[in-house]
Amino acid sequence: MITAGLDIGSCTIELVVLDEDRPIFTRRSETSFDYPEQVRALLSETEYDRILVTGYGRHLVAREFGMGHVTEIKAHAAGVHHLVPEARTILDIGGQDTKVISLDKQGKVTAFEMNDRCSAGTGRFFEVMAQALACRIGELGDLALSGADRLRISSMCTVFAETEVVALRARGEAPEDVAHAVVVSVVYRVSSMIRRVGLREKAVFCGGVARNKAVVQILAQELGCGLFVPEAPDFTGAMGAAILARGS
Amino acid sequence: MNKTHEAMWKELDLDLGAHEALLTVLGRFYNDIYLSQSGRLQGMEYLDFVMGEVHGLRIREIQEARSAGRKVMGLFCVFVPEELILALDGICVGLCAGAEAGFDAAERHLPRNTCPLIKSFFGFRLARLCPYTSSCDLVIGETTCDGKKKAYELFGDFQPTYVMEVPQSKSAAARVLFRTEMDRLRETLERLTGRILEPQRLRDAIRLVNRRRSALNRLAALRAAEPAPISGRDALLINQVAFYDDPVRFTETVERLCAELEERVQKGEGVAPPRTKRILVSGCPMAVPNWKLPYVIEGSGAVIVGEESCVGARHTRDLVSEQAETVDGMLDALCDRYLRIDCATFTPNPERLDNIVRMARELHADGVIHYALEFCQPYAIESKKVENRLAAEGIPFLRVETGYSLEDIEPLRTRVEAFLETI
């Protein structure tokens, strides 16, 4: 059976099409304001027997296209369990939210935590910080890793943290040290969220922010355990939805 | 809402334009959240009518009673003993505090990060939107949380406000304090109403409020049936209206509703298909029209079977002993009953944990969703104890913290749906 999974995130949309367990088609695009239009364009390129939609925009798309929907919590769990059956803890940092999910052996969700409505510590937070540091989002990780651990950013609010970054720059601090501080501030927040749910190995880190090497490395140090990052960390939600579509 | 009440609202010094806008939004909200439900009880028509006239006919009744010399007391918390007010021929009304109304005005006086319930009762008053507040001869506050305690000091500048001291522990000394506060409230009310508290009238008031509590408890117990015979939204509404409506008329309505529910339960009928996931909501009060979380939960395919809340079980569970003969004896009995309330402002507060577990079991709940209003420290902090206890009992638990704004409804829905997927 050919199944498809769509993950409508706040920044990007991912589509995964599976022929049984084998991905035969993956695509992503910007979410944009009119995301049903984006979805229509993505789907026109492929064919499938069943589809499920997940992510922030799932309700609208499910209504518009008559699809079934699952939460991103369940979708990530299914996707990660498929890729890494030993996974017991999932950290997902997307464009606008952070989730920690605890799994059992069967890949069933046993507990989860999500940040509340603000974008503190999410992909959006890093975008704003990169802008304040005048670097590309893809370079922020390398920049942070080249910096020293000597500054602290205390505000987790994106807006206030940006003010702090600007102030540090005005004080003449090196951008790499400021970038390091930005990453550390997120790592502290995320690690306490992980501990709230309970850290059990193997821990898997997915979502777009998992592409930031500095977050992965510093968080792994803070947690004192390895963090496995899938090859395409932003596709686990869509992958999970495609897997769940089989039984839908 | 019809124009016939406009003169009255003007008399009450409401901001007519803003009030009209509020009622329009409220009406739309009610339509989406309530009238769109299927399989509702016939008896709910009365509640629809009450809600339609919540700022209309009920206010008119209250004005007529005032012209006849009765006094109106605005209450904000289940700790204020209604029995004393009723025994002195007073009328109790809940204050408007469940919507994001007048927040900009409120924030001129209160810090932004104040709990929405407090900001709302301030906002309703300052923006001149609540005919109940405007009808009050006295607002009776209490010292349950720091936010309310300090806010009443400011509120006193706008309206006569009396603050009852509620202790924060259940020690013998705390009981002595609360008993003294009972006397102080009695004196204040006697002065205000120009009446003397008579034993016969106090006994009648105790019986009346007990009868209302019993009716609501009977309704709560019927929700243990599978399938659930009434939606959580409707049950919440009934508990909300309890704070506004005439107690005799309201109690008779609830008793009739219970009879209808019993019939339904006997026939095995319900509002949701069998095996719908059953949720107990626990935590902060939900004042009209704060229906956001119930709407999200039931819109996600679950049914709410109980409210462990001040607008719910905390308001109705315990009855006052009817044994006492003297006024002092009855005041003792009131004191005993009110100090059994398991509000998170008490420390320690183990009774609440027991009550949550007992309710979850009796109502056959599949999980508990803990609801804390933003910036409500007592409930937000106590939620950890609830989480630990429920984990030990093997009852699934989700913690939610939210305010009155609708902007977080999608993230809230994701959390609730994911929780339902796990149980």
pLDDT value at position B3? Answer: 75
Is a pLDDT exceeding 80 seen at residue A131? yes
- What value does the mean pLDDT take over residues B8-31? 94
- What value does the mean pLDDT take over residues B353-376? 98
Is a pLDDT exceeding 80 seen at residue A225? yes
Domain A86-229 fold is Nucleotidyltransferase; domain 5 (3.30.420)
Distance from CA of B388 to the nearest CA of A (A): 12
Tell me the domain boundaries of chain B: 3-197, 202-320+326-334+341-422
Distance from CA of A222 to the nearest CA of B (A): 24
Residues A178-187 as b/e (b if ≥16 CB within 10 A, e otherwise) read bbbbbbbbbb
Closest C-alpha among B97, B89, B159 to residue B290: B97
Q: What is the pLDDT of residues A87-107, one digit of tens each?
A: 999 999 988 889 999 999 999
Is a pLDDT exceeding 70 seen at residue A193? yes
The residue assigned the tokens 């700022």 is: B55
Q: Are B421 and A72 a contacting pair at CB < 8 A?
A: no
For A75, name the nearest residue in chain B, comparing CA atoms only. Answer: B418
Report whether B173 contacts B190 (CB < 8 A): no
Is a pLDDT exceeding 80 seen at residue A116? no
pLDDT value at position B329? Answer: 98
pLDDT value at position B32? Answer: 93
Residues B267-278 as b/e (b if ≥16 CB within 10 A, e otherwise) read eeebbbeeebbb
Distance from CA of A149 to the nearest CA of B (A): 33
- Name the residue among B411, B413, B418 with its Cβ closest to that of A112: B418
Q: In this structure, are strands A98-103 and A89-93 parallel, antiparallel, or unpaired?
A: antiparallel
Q: A52: helix, coil or strand?
A: strand
Question: Are B3-197 and B202-320+326-334+341-422 equal in CATH topology?
Answer: yes
- CB contacts < 8 Å between A and B, how many? 35
Domain covering B3-197 assigned CATH 3.40.50.11890 in the classification: yes
Kindly tell me the sign of the dihedral angle through the C-alpha atoms of B73, B79, B82, B83: negative
Q: Are A74 and B408 a contacting pair at CB < 8 A?
A: no
pLDDT value at position A120? Answer: 75
- Name the residue among A72, A110, A117 with its Cβ closest to that of B422: A110
Q: How confident is the model at residue B349 (pLDDT cuts 50, 70, 90)?
A: very high
Kindly tell me the sign of the dihedral angle through the C-alpha atoms of B227, B232, B233, B237: positive
Contacts with B410 from chain A: Cβ below 8 Å: 56, 59
Report whether A8 contacts A54 (CB < 8 A): yes
Q: Which residues pair with B163 in a beta bridge?
A: B141
Contacts with A112 from chain B: Cβ below 8 Å: 418, 422
Contacts with B402 from chain A: Cβ below 8 Å: 116
How many residues are given for chain B? Answer: 423
Residues B38-54 as b/e (b if ≥16 CB within 10 A, e otherwise) read eebbebbebbeebbbbb
Least confident of A165-169, B311-315, B401-405: A165-169
Q: In this structure, are strands B72-75 and B367-373 parallel, antiparallel, or unpaired?
A: unpaired
pLDDT value at position B407? Answer: 86
Report whether B66 contacts B72 (CB < 8 A): yes
For residues B43 and B406, give the distance between their C-alpha atoms in angstroms, rounded to a whole number: 30
CA distances from A74 to A25, A69, B275, B317 (A): 22, 10, 21, 38
The residue assigned the tokens 């589809």 is: A51
A interface test, pick of B409, B410, B413 with most A CB neighbours within 10 Å: B410
- What value does the mean pLDDT take over residues B387-392? 97
A interface test, pick of B112, B413, B415 with most A CB neighbours within 10 Å: B415
Q: In this structure, are strands A50-54 and B72-75 parallel, antiparallel, or unpaired?
A: unpaired
Q: What is the pLDDT of residues B56-70, one digit of tens each?
A: 999 999 999 999 999
The correct CATH number of B202-320+326-334+341-422 out of 3.40.50.11900, 3.40.1010.10, 3.40.50.2020, 1.10.10.60 is 3.40.50.11900
Tell me the domain boundaries of chain A: 1-84+233-248, 86-229
Q: Are A59 and B407 a contacting pair at CB < 8 A?
A: no
Q: How confident is the model at residue B2 (pLDDT cuts 50, 70, 90)?
A: low
Q: What is the pLDDT of residues B23-69, one digit of tens each?
A: 999 999 999 999 999 889 998 999 999 999 999 999 999 999 999 99
pLDDT exceeding 70 applies to what percent of chain B? 100
For residues B49 and B366, give the distance between their C-alpha atoms in angstroms, rounded to a whole number: 33
Kindly tell me the sign of the dihedral angle through the C-alpha atoms of A40, A43, A47, A49: negative
CA distances from B127 to A19, A87, B138, B189 (A): 61, 54, 19, 28
Contacts with B415 from chain A: Cβ below 8 Å: 114
A interface test, pick of B374, B395, B422, B423 with most A CB neighbours within 10 Å: B422
For residues A137 and A114, give the distance between their C-alpha atoms in angstroms, rounded to a whole number: 23
- Name the residue among A56, A73, A116 with its Cβ closest to that of B418: A73
Residues A142-153 as b/e (b if ≥16 CB within 10 A, e otherwise) read ebbbebeeebeb
Sequence-ordered strand ranges (E) for B91-200: 91-94, 138-142, 161-164
Peptide bond into A202 cis (omega under 30): yes
What is the architecture of the domain spanning A1-84+233-248?
A: 2-Layer Sandwich (3.30)
Radius of gyration of chain A from Cα atoms?
18
Q: What is the pLDDT of residues A36-78, one digit of tens each?
A: 899 999 999 999 999 999 998 999 999 999 999 999 999 999 9
The token pair at A46 is 């492929």
Report whether A232 contacts A26 (CB < 8 A): yes
The rounded mean pLDDT for chain B is: 96
Contacts of B245 (CB under 8 A, 6+ apart): B50, B58, B253
For residues B202 and B316, give the distance between their C-alpha atoms in angstroms, rounded to a whole number: 19
Q: What is the pLDDT of residues B165-187, one digit of tens each?
A: 999 999 999 999 999 999 999 99
B interface test, pick of A90, A92, A102, A117 with most B CB neighbours within 10 Å: A117
Report whether A2 contacts A48 (CB < 8 A): yes
Kindly tell me the sign of the dihedral angle through the C-alpha atoms of B308, B312, B314, B317: negative
Distance from CA of B297 to the nearest CA of A (A): 14
Complex confidence, ipTM: 0.86
Q: What is the pLDDT of residues B282-335, one digit of tens each?
A: 999 999 999 999 999 999 999 999 999 999 999 999 999 999 999 999 999 999
CB atoms within 10 A of CB B362: 15
Is a pLDDT exceeding 60 seen at residue B259? yes
Which backbone phi and psi does A118 adopt, to 5 degrees? -80, 160
pLDDT value at position A154? Answer: 82
pLDDT value at position A157? Answer: 78
CA distances from B135 to B57, B131, B193, B272 (A): 13, 6, 15, 40
Give the residue with greater pLDDT, B14 vs A119.
B14
The rounded mean pLDDT for chain A is: 92
Q: Does A63 touch chain B (CB under 8 A)?
A: no
pLDDT value at position B159? Answer: 95
- Name the residue among B410, B413, B422 with its Cβ closest to that of A109: B422
Q: B412: helix, coil or strand?
A: helix
Q: Are A114 and B411 a contacting pair at CB < 8 A?
A: yes
